[in-house]
Chain A
Amino acid sequence: MSAETTSSNGEGRAMVRAPVTVVDFVVRGDGIAVLTVNDPREPVNTVTREFGEQFLASVERVAADPAIKGAVVASAKKDFIVGANIDMLQAVKLATDAEEMAKVIAGGLVKLAALPKPFVAAVRGSALGGGFEIALACHAIVASDDAATGVGLPEVQLGLLPAANGMLRIVDRAGLQVALDLALTGRRVKAKKALKMGLVDEVCPPSVLLDIACARALDMAGRPGESGRRTRKTDLKTAALEDNALGRALVFKKAREATRKKTRGHYPATERILDVLEAYGGGGKKRFASAAALEARSFGELVVSEQAHRLIEIFFATTALKKDTGVDDASVRPHEVSRVAMLGGGLMGGGIAYVTMQAGIPVRIKDKDDAGVGRGLAYVRDILAERLKKKQLAREELDRKIALVTGGTDYSGVKHADVVIEAVFEDLALKQRILQDVEELTRPDCVFASNTSSIPIGRIAEVSKRPETVLGMHYFSPVHKMPLLEVIATPRTAPWAVATAVALGKKQGKTVIVVKDGVGFYTSRILAPYMNEAAHLVAEGVPIDAIDRAMVDWGYPVGPIQLLDEVGIDVAAHVGEIVHAAFGDRMIPPPGMKKLLLDDRKGKKNGRGFYAYGKAGEAGEKRKREVDASVYAVLGVERNAKAKGRVLPAEEIQMRCALQMVNEALLCFGEGILRSPRDGDIGAIFGLGFPPFRGGPLRYVDTIGAAEVLRRVRGYEMRFGRRFTPAPVLVEMARRGERFYD
């Protein structure tokens, strides 16, 4: 860079209106202005009011100053710009305010795009949402080739749409289908892939990124008349679909169908995204203006929508959980975890070993025989091999990663473990024996974690010589895909041990909640009455598929009866007995369920359950799952062949099942199982698939109102008795008109 640079930090008008400098403006000796975004208030750059003002002022200055030939937009932070400031969005009360906000930024970018002087975005790290849209408005995008660099439009995940015309510009440079893909999934695309897809123009090493971007701007400035802007290159098939109205109509029809199948109409953002892109159609200036207007208006409506509010609240809750150590005492520090031992190499053990390895921590798998150890090692390797096949991983990385996982049938390699996690068979005596073995061997401050889903941790800890190190780490299957980890603390568990488990869970990529010990902890416990209610509905003669459909329509990813089949009817029955014994008649199972086990129906795993299964996983997977009609006779349920069972409004199915989960969550909250309403909501959403747009069981009570929820629960209590006895917390809150959240 030249020494003859001038800086305009804090000059003139901007100084008065913006006390912080977010955009640094430097003109290089060669006439290229470098706009460096660096928000001193935050660890990342976001689109804020101050940013908008200073950035647009900088664009004006580039346009006005004849000495400036072109400009480069860069970031001084690890990431480029990661999107709109969400606090700012959450504070918006009126749709028209949000629309106005979008129009200011979008309008400024339209001006930028129309300037005769070239703007080049130098993207390193994440360029997301509004950040990516700013880059897209520039005349070229140069991205760094490191693994941390990527682009995306994640707005849809918050129930919003990208409102600075980024989608439209993607249509222009990469095509309609790419725009649909990015906007509807919200996925992040790594730099090299982005180059292939036409989302960026050039990829280079981070060390030369700024120089390359400046050189490109200078080069473009030297060739006036040529736009330098990337134009779309398409193959025949893409052209046939995208370059004529008929093809586009087909694309939109398919996209709408696929989207509705997934969202069941619960996520208006996806509909609006499709509307805006359909309005833009084949592109062009005139259509741009009308599509942009629709985009801004839709954005305004979405920002104030219930769905967006819930999803933004979840975003904040998970962000807060990332910073939460899991214990209330701020002076407690987690212990360093540099070795983990995994006892049991089954489905859970293999999965936990995988995520531990992904955290870069060596894992030792111990199982009782070679077959068990081998299964665990193969589980880890199979996931890596799949990623290798998809080219998400290089061969050397696979070798390096797999070397972190070793196994054996004795306790060698366990001695120095900082955390030992057991995932052996659900048998109290076995788990206690293993705990004693481990305590003989390991350091006094080695944490012993049980991955049990049904045995209270306190029972396992009864035989411990150091119960302060014993806790639960309840993972969900499949471990490498499910985002939640429930850490369970007994009254004797030391805070440092809890903090250590939480820190390990976060390193494993999990969202971690800490709950108190008790039967079923939190997630398994609130799932039990929900599943039980579905079983009662079946016993009443309600068609199985009607129950599942109703719950999927309400927003669950799978219905409760299908879930029973997946979890295993034997396992569910076992848990059912435990919770019935612990909580009494509230969790009384319907008559007839035992008959299923007598009929050797264990669910998907033995191909016999509520649904019909083809021969072990073949064919049957693709086609629509049919109910195994013979199950009704086994249950002794009367089913009118013509009416296909008892007709019940979907709403009653939905309310009965969902309110069971909600009421149980409220009981847990009242009993102090949860540290906060936030943990209760995140646990239900991330662990059990409670519909995210409803915000979680406790947030749901706030949304509907405690009094209304109580009225409904009482109504069912009158009809079905103790199963629906309302939680004291609910009664209390309804009486006082209270909410869980401010």
Chain B
Amino acid sequence: MPVPPALKEPTTGLSMGESAEKMAKEGGIDRASQDAFAHRSHARAAKAWADGLFAEEVMRVLPPPAYDAPFAEDNVVRKDSSVEAYSRLKPAFDRKYGTITAGNSSPLTDGAAALVLMTESKAKSLGYAPLGYLRSWAYAALDPAGWMLMGPSYATPMALDRAGLTLAEMDLIDMHEAFAAQVLCNVKAFGSRQFAEEKLGRSKAIGEIDDAKLNVHGGSIAIGHPFAATGARMVTTVLHELKRRGGKFGLATACAAGGLGAAVVLEAAE
């Protein structure tokens, strides 16, 4: 098993979990809604695996040195997830007043993902059928000493503007699940006019997130978060799912250390 690194976010000196604790407390995200969200993530990922939806997206791996025990599936997804089980866990970062637990956070896991980006003409000349198109993208940076993991709420409106689209036009929304509390804070901010006015300087909220479109096959809480691989994984899943449900546009967005946020608007291949 890989040894998880001890992570102190370099700009704040807080661990990521401590930043999430701060957001949960200040944003009023209670333990029950975090646990419910974690359960949702696991249940959906488990169902996607069971239905064979990931078969096209995930490569089987033979790990060294013996190469004799193949990994064919994520091994952290709880197939028998129940809400009650989450409530029994102790808080991991603030043992006394905290609500963030190992169960409602993303586990640090080993993994890798890759995407090949090229122009449409190049893909055609090589005989490749594109998975989809990158319609627009945006990066945002915010004060890491504030709510550090709010990146999606800053990057998304920029990406949408650049694409000339609105959140309502997105058929799928995939948000990296660093912590259930972080996702829930961002979901709130997306729908908040006050947040838009005060933090983004915009007169209208980004838009309410339709739960039926959000992280439809679970997210990092269930699947795990291998650094530097999660973004490519999210894009892959969104593009496959758009194709499957005949959708046109998808949003993939993530928060990152240092108070960064990234968002991409994806367009399904014809």
**Interface bin, chain A:** 10 to 19
A739 an interface residue at 8 Å Cβ cutoff? no
Least CB distance, A166 to chain B, in whole angstroms: 43
Contact B67 A374, beta carbon cutoff 8 Å = yes
Looking at the assembled complex, report how far the CB atom of A366 sits from the nearest CB atom of chain B, in whole angstroms.
13
Interchain CA distance A370-B68 in the complex, whole Å:
8
A239 in the interface (beta carbon within 8 A):
no
Expressed in whole angstroms, the minimum distance between the Cβ of A631 and any Cβ of chain B is 36
Do residues A370 and B64 form an inter-chain contact, with CB atoms below 8 A? no
Complex alpha-carbon distance, A508 and B67, angstroms? 24
Which residue, B60, B64, B65, B67, has most C-beta atoms of chain A within 10 A?
B67
Contact B67 A373 (CB under 8 A): yes
Query: A88 at interface (Cβ–Cβ under 8 A)?
Result: no
Bitwise interface map of A from 341 to 354 toward B, beta carbon under 8 Å scored 1, else 0: 00000000000000
A391 to B243, CA, bound (A): 52
Task: Evaluate contact between A374 and B62: CB separation under 8 angstroms.
Answer: yes
Contact with B along A406-419 (1 / 0, CB 8 A): 01110000000000
A322 on interface, CB distance cutoff 8 Å:
no
Whether a CB of chain B sits under 8 angstroms from the CB of A371 is yes
- Interface residue? A377 (CB, 8 A): yes
B162 to chain A, nearest CB (A): 35
Q: Is the CB of A378 within 8 A of B65?
A: yes
| Number of interchain pairs (Cβ within 8 Å) | 31
Residue B3 lies at the interface, judged by CB distance under 8 Å to chain A:
no
Establish whether residues B65 and A370, one from each chain, have CB atoms under 8 Å apart when the complex forms: no
How many chain B residues touch A (CB < 8 A): the figure is 9
Measured between alpha carbons, how far is A385 from B67 in the docked complex, in Å?
14
Shortest Cβ gap from B70 to chain A (Å): 4
Cβ–Cβ contact B66 & A374, under 8 A = yes
Are the CB atoms of A371 and B68 closer together than 8 Å? yes
Residues of A within 8 A of B66 (CB): 374, 378
Measured CA separation A359–B65 after assembly (Å):
22
> Which residue of A370, A382, A402 contacts B70 across the interface (Cβ within 8 Å)?
A370
Q: Quick check: is A375 within 8 A (CB to CB) of the other chain?
A: yes
Shortest C-beta distance, B129 to chain A (Å), equals 14
Residue of A371, A375, A402 touching B64 (CB-CB under 8 A):
A402
Inside 8 A of A375's CB, which chain B residues have their CB? Answer: 67
Q: Are B62 and A407 in contact (CB under 8 A)?
A: yes
| A28 in contact (CB, < 8 A) | no
Contact with A along B24-63 (1 / 0, CB 8 A): 0000000000000000000000000000000000011010
Q: Which chain B residues border A408 with CB–CB below 8 Å?
A: 59-60
**In the complex, which residues of chain A have a beta carbon less than 8 angstroms from the beta carbon of B59?**
408
Confirm or deny: A381 has a beta carbon within 8 angstroms of a beta carbon on chain B.
Answer: yes
Q: Tell me which residues from 65 to 81 in chain B have a Cβ below 8 Å from any Cβ of chain A.
A: 65-68, 70
* Minimal Cβ-Cβ distance residue in A for B127: A415
Residues of B within 8 A of A409 (CB): 60
Q: Mark A362-383, 1 if CB is under 8 A from B, else 0.
A: 0000000011011101100110
Q: Which residues of A contact B60 (CB under 8 A)?
A: 370, 408-409
B70 contacts A374, CB within 8 Å?
A: yes
What residues on A are CB-neighbors of B62 within 8 Å?
A: 370, 373-374, 377, 407
Residue contact B65 to A381, C-beta cutoff 8 Å: yes
Bound: A371/B62 CA distance, A: 9
Which one of B65, B68, B70 contacts A385 once the chains associate, using CB atoms below 8 Å? B65
Cα A377 to Cα B61 in complex, Å, equals 12
- Chain B residues within an 8 Å CB radius of A378: 64-68
| A494 CA to B144 CA, complexed, in Å | 65
Contact residue among A374, A382, A402, A407 (Cβ-Cβ distance under 8 Å from B68): A374
> In the complex, which residues of chain A have a beta carbon less than 8 angstroms from the beta carbon of B70?
370, 374
State in angstroms the CA–CA spacing of A227 and B66 once bound together: 56
- Bound Cα distance from A396 to B70, whole angstroms: 24
- B residues 56-110 touching A (CB-CB < 8 Å): 59-60, 62, 64-68, 70
- Complex Cα gap A663–B66 (Å): 46
CB distance from A368 to the nearest CB of B (A): 14
Taking CB as reference atom, which chain A residue is nearest B126? A416
Tell me the complex Cα distance, A408–B62, Å: 9
Considering only CB atoms, which chain B residue lies closest to A374 in the complex? B67
A711 to B192, CA, bound (A): 105
**Proximity string of chain A (101-144) to chain B, C-beta cutoff 8 Å, 1 when within and 0 when not:** 00000000000000000000000000000000000000000000
Shortest Cβ distance from residue B29 to the other chain A in the assembled complex, whole angstroms: 42
Task: For A409, give the chain B residue with the smallest CB separation.
Answer: B60
Closest chain A residue to B69 by CB distance? A374
Q: In whole angstroms, what is the CA distance A17 to B185 when docked? A: 92
A382 to chain B, nearest CB (A): 8
Give A382 to B70 CA distance when docked, in angstroms: 18
0 or 1 for each of A388-425: is its CB under 8 Å from B? (1 = yes)? 00000000000000100001110000000000000000
Per-residue interface assignment for chain B, residues 180 to 198, with 1 indicating a CB less than 8 Å from any chain A CB and 0 otherwise: 0000000000000000000
The answer for the CA separation of A402 and B70 in the assembled complex, in Å, is: 17
| Shortest Cβ distance from B67 into A: residue | A374
In the complex, A351 Cα to B66 Cα: how many Å? 16
Known: A374-B67, A381-B65, A408-B59. 20 other contacts (CB 8 A): A370-B62, A370-B70, A371-B68, A373-B62, A373-B67, A374-B66, A374-B70, A375-B67, A377-B62, A377-B64, A377-B67, A378-B64, A378-B65, A378-B66, A378-B68, A381-B64, A381-B67, A382-B65, A407-B67, A408-B60
17 contacts between A and B (CB under 8 A): A370-B60, A370-B62, A371-B68, A374-B62, A374-B66, A374-B67, A374-B68, A374-B70, A377-B67, A378-B65, A378-B66, A381-B67, A385-B65, A407-B62, A407-B67, A408-B59, A409-B60
A interface, CB within 8 angstroms of B? 370-371, 373-375, 377-378, 381-382, 385, 402, 407-409
B-side residues, CB < 8 A to A, are 59-60, 62, 64-68, 70
State the 6 A-B residue pairs at the shortest beta-carbon distance, nearest first: A374-B67, A377-B67, A370-B70, A378-B67, A374-B62, A374-B68
